[in-house]
Amino acid sequence: MPDGSMVQGPVLRVEDLTVRFTRRDTDVAAVNGVNFSLNAGETLTILGESGSGKSVSLKAMMGLLPGYARIDGRIWLNGRDMLTLPEAELRKVRGGAISMIFQEPMAALDPVYTIGEQIAETIVQHEGCSKDTAWKRALGLLEQVKIPSAARRLKNYPHEMSGGMRQRAMIALALACSPSVLLADEPTTALDVTVQIQILLLLRQLQQELGMAIVFVTHDVGAAAEISDRIAVMYAGRFAETGTTRQIMRQPLHPYTKGLLASTVHGGMRGTRLETIPGSPPNLAHLPPGCAFAPRCRYAVDACRQGDIPVVTDETGHMARCVRVEEAVPA
């Protein structure tokens, strides 16, 4: 196998990723055709509905879904298809070339080991260095993510840390082996804004230094504006719209994106009723034909409720999966 870092072109390319959970009486279509590619040093942010398949997509890229998940498509990491790698290979890649900051640090950190033990163990496993070296690196990592009194915190068990500190420990763990792709699932949600901006600046800096590519999942439009080159908006297991950060924030095309931005709470909105998107998210066990957002969309016409919805992409790469957009923006 060639050294991954030497491969030209995108470091990560995802083609037609689908994930279904089929078990007992349930058949959940969690991811329904996700496509994107990412170059070194680039950040793609995935915004989207709660339950739209963001975490499941990231876990698929890490090879971390349960056995009953049916995964299709291709996930090329440095030119190798993650979905065909044998488990032993996958274990080397995971936490090495690709690593993940999980949405729920408590579920990802092992409660019976200290933070230091967990970080050092990861480094030893992937790089085969001495325990001593690994502990020194672990200390440096905790300092890098701005954990106060890092040396003492190395000896903390996860439950002895505040939510935000656990999240920073997770980030340190994910950065332990200088990954070429970092999957960050809501990494700053649990942090106060002073630390959030520190972490975002840190990720931006590491990205410049290491050329790391980042897939950043968040609900926070402000964080997305700070870190992303491009934004993808996900609904019911698909990208409904992708574009540059500016395009998505200033000229959103898809009605779901517009609804999402309109319901964001800004300053000075006290006493007003918040705008919401009417209706409820689709049942992933019975996705409607056509556009999954149509039942909630005020612009929906008959064409939205049948067949495959065409993807409209303009010359700048701004893409929307919407019938009505085609009327407005001739392809």
Partner 1 sequence: MSAALQIPLDPRDRGGPAQPLLLVENLRKHFPVRGGILNRQTATVQAVDDVSFSVRKGETLGIVGESGCGKSTTARLLMRLIEPDAGDVIFDGDAVGDRRGISVNDMRRQMQMVFQDSYTSLNPRMTMVESIAYAPRMHGTPRREAIDRAEMLLHRVGLNPRQYARRYPHELSGGQRQRVNIARALALEPRLVILDEAVAALDKSVEAQVLNLLGELKESLNLTYLFISHDLNVVEYMSDRVMVMYLGRVVEAGPVESIYRHPRHPYTRALFASKPTLDPDRRTTEMPLTGDPPNPINPPSGCRFRTRCAFAQPRCAERVPELLAPVAGDADASHVVACHVPEAQTPKHHTTEVGHA
Ligand X SMILES: Nc1ncnc2c1ncn2[C@@H]1O[C@H](COP(=O)(O)OP(=O)(O)OP(=O)(O)O)[C@@H](O)[C@H]1O
Nearest-angstrom CA–CA distance, 127 and 237: 36
Q: Rounded to whole angstroms, what are the CA distances from 174 to 25, 142, 167, 202, 282? A: 36, 11, 11, 13, 33
CA distance 146 to 169: 10
H helix runs in the chain, sequence order: 54-62, 87-93, 105-108, 115-127, 131-144, 150-153, 163-175, 193-210, 221-227, 245-250, 255-262, 323-328
| Part in contact with Mg ion (CB under 5 A); list of ranges 59-67, 159-167, 169-177, 231-239 | 159-167
Subset of 152-181 contacting partner 1 (CB under 8 A): 152, 155, 160-165, 167-168
Is the distance from CB of 171 to CB of 101 less than 8 angstroms?
yes
Nearer to ligand X, 280 or 316 (CB): 280
Size of the site for partner 1 (CB under 8 A): 71
Q: Which is nearer to ligand X, 25 or 302 (CB)?
A: 25
Q: Least separation, in Å, of the C-beta of 165 and ligand X?
A: 6
Name the closest residue to ligand X (Cβ). Answer: 164
Please, what is the minimum distance in Å from the beta carbon of residue 306 to Mg ion? 30
State which of residues 70, 84, 92, 106 lies at the interface with partner 1 (CB under 8 A).
106
Residues 119-138 that bind partner 1 (CB under 8 A): none
Helices 131-144 & 115-127 angle (0-180, nearest 10): 120
Residue selected from 18, 55, 114, 218 as contacting ligand X according to rule CB under 6 A = 55
Residue (13 or 318) nearer to partner 1, CB: 318
Residue type for 206, please? L
C-alpha 10/C-alpha 59 separation (Å) is 20
What is the rounded distance in angstroms from the CA atom of residue 143 to the CA atom of residue 35? 36
CB of 66 to partner 1, least distance (A): 8
CB of 234 to ligand X, least distance (A): 7
- Residues 146 to 205: which contact ligand X by CB under 6 A? 159-165, 190, 192
Taking the complex as a whole, the smallest distance from the CB of residue 298 to ligand X amounts, in Å, to: 23
Length of the chain: 331
Give the type of residue at 77. Answer: L
9, 148, 163, 317: residue in contact with Mg ion (rule CB under 5 A)? 163
Residues in contact with ligand X by CB under 6 A are 21, 28, 30, 50-56, 66, 103, 159-165, 190, 192, 284
